Structure 1
Amino acid sequence: MSRNLLGGFMPLFLLGAVLGSGTKAAEVNSAQIERGRYLVHGVALCIDCHSPRDEKGQFLAGKHLTGAALGFAATVPMPWAPAAPGIAGLENFTPEQAVKFLMTGERPSGVPVLPPMPAYRMDQDEAEAVVAYLKSLAPQK
């Protein structure tokens, strides 16, 4: 009798453990994405260069992080990126490449970024949060 009871209980216990761990993983992922959103919008300010603006300098609704021409230029002759690419969805980077980029400031090709993009030196947790947030966004063409 106890053997049948145990046999019926174990699958339910294991199912609960699996389902429960999925919920916990979703909470962790949600928290990581929210932290990434905070870093992108409030700390690293990626949104400032990577989002298009209207003639009054206001962000275009629905176009955040889709890429934009820079509204300023270098004051002395130097290599300079005239536009910031779209980073919503991070289509041109694997998650691993993007994390490494944010930690080292080098593209997957090994070429450093051009000003005005700073060569960030994020720690791994920060970089992973930023990448999780950017990958959670739908890329726009």
Structure 2
Amino acid sequence: MRRLLGFLILLGLLAAGAAWMISAPDTLPAGEFADDTGGDPARGQAVFTAAGCASCHHAPGSEDKLVLAGGQRFASDFGTFIAPNISQDPQQGIGTWSLHDFANALLRGVSPEGRHYYPAFPYTSYIRMQPQDVADLWSYIRTLPASDAPSQPHEVGFPFSLRRGLGLWKQLYLDPSWIMGTPGSEELKRGRYLVEALAHCGECHTPRDDFGGLQREAWLTGAPAPDGKGRIPALTPDELSWSAEDVAYYLETGFTPDYDSAGGHMVAVIDNFAQLPPEDRAAVAAYVKALPEGGGM
């Protein structure tokens, strides 16, 4: 019995050690994104708008949505996540970050201190961003005003409060591959990039499994609202009968073909898409109309 107990303890220690190693943060090589001067803030503004950065990170009720003070609350099955201050304040915000730090956050979900970010921050979509867009976005964000409002801690209980476990979660769900296969046109390619990367549409419109991972086989087939109130609609052709022109018009104005209007979080999404060029709205519409029924790709 003593030998068996010793063997089981050793086996448990080995398993714990392996899990610790596997769950370690996966960061970008030091040489990537080393040049902080390679971004274009004018292009970065368009990336900022398409990615919806201000929609989550401006302070609740603030009229100035370019002050990224954080504080908005996002309820989920795992707890309530509170958007942090990502302004240029050096103490409370990200004013001391480098481009490399910023890229690690966007593409790997890892903080400068080497901690995993919760995937309420949609790095599971941003991982598909083009490197130049990351640099341009960083260049633009550095031009925005600072706020000294402190970030609030997330309201997440045990065991989800153990961030190291997110390393195991990422092994299962952090996938840089595209959901839609090779697009047949440049318009579809742009639409795929907007939907699957920058605008992270799948984060809300795709159902999740019990561990919070996106069910890629049910891509954009709709999902329960994270706060438990209602359901986010499907975008697949079997559920959404709008024409491509209807989709593009909705993204510009918020009005549906049935003379209804956008509500909830879609209001902020519409505000963002309305600022993008018509070609981008048309590209998203083309992508939506190219989806298979039922969401399987």
Q: Which TM class, normalised by the smaller chain length?
A: 0.5 to 0.7
TM-score by length of 2: 0.33
Which residues in structure 2 correspond to 1:45-84 (within 5 Å)? Answer: 45-72=200-227, 82-84=230-232
Match of 2:283 among 109, 129, 132: 129
1:26-55 deviation digits (Å, cap 9, x = unpaired): xx9511111101111112221111000001
4+ aligned runs moved over 3 Å, structure 1? none
Of 259, 263, 285, the residue aligned with 1:114 is 263
Secondary structure of the corresponding residue to residue 217 of structure 2: coil
- Letter paired with 1:56: F
What's the counterpart of residue 243 of structure 2? 94
Q: How many residues align?
A: 107
Return the alpha-carbon distance in structure 1 between the equivalents of residues 287 and 200 of structure 2.
14
Match 1:41 to one of 189, 196, 210: 196
Residues 195 and 201, structure 2, Cα contact 8 Å, conserved in 1? yes
Correspondence 1:31 to 2:186? yes
- Please, what TM-score do these two structures have when normalized by structure 1? 0.67
- Structure 1, residues 64-116: CA drift from partner, whole Å, max 9, x if none? 1011111126xxxxxxx721111023732011111101111111122211202
1:91–1:139 CA contact under 8 A, matched in 2: no
Give the AA of the match of 2:235. I
Unaligned runs of 5+ in 2: 1-182
Range with bigger deviation, 110-119 or 120-129: 110-119
- With 111-120 and 96-105 compared, the bigger mean Cα shift is at 111-120
Larger Rg: 1
Q: RMSD over aligned Cα, in angstroms?
A: 2.2
Structure 1: how far apart are the matches of 2:185 and 2:227? 35
Letter in 2 for 1:86: A
**Inter-partner Cα distance in structure 2 for 1:95 and 1:61:** 23
**Fraction of identical pairs, as percent:** 30
- In structure 2, the residue matched to 1:23 is none
Contact 2:206 2:216 in 1 (8 A): no
Q: 1:92 to 1:61 in 2, by over 3 A?
A: same
Q: Structure 1 unaligned runs (5+)?
A: 1-27, 74-80
Could you tell me how far apart the structure 2 residues matched to 1:101 and 1:113 are?
8
Q: Distance in 1 between matches of 2:189 and 2:224?
A: 27
Of the structure 1 ranges 54-63 and 119-128, higher mean CA displacement relative to structure 2 is found in 119-128
Check whether the contact 1:103–1:123 (CA below 8 A) recurs between aligned residues. Answer: no
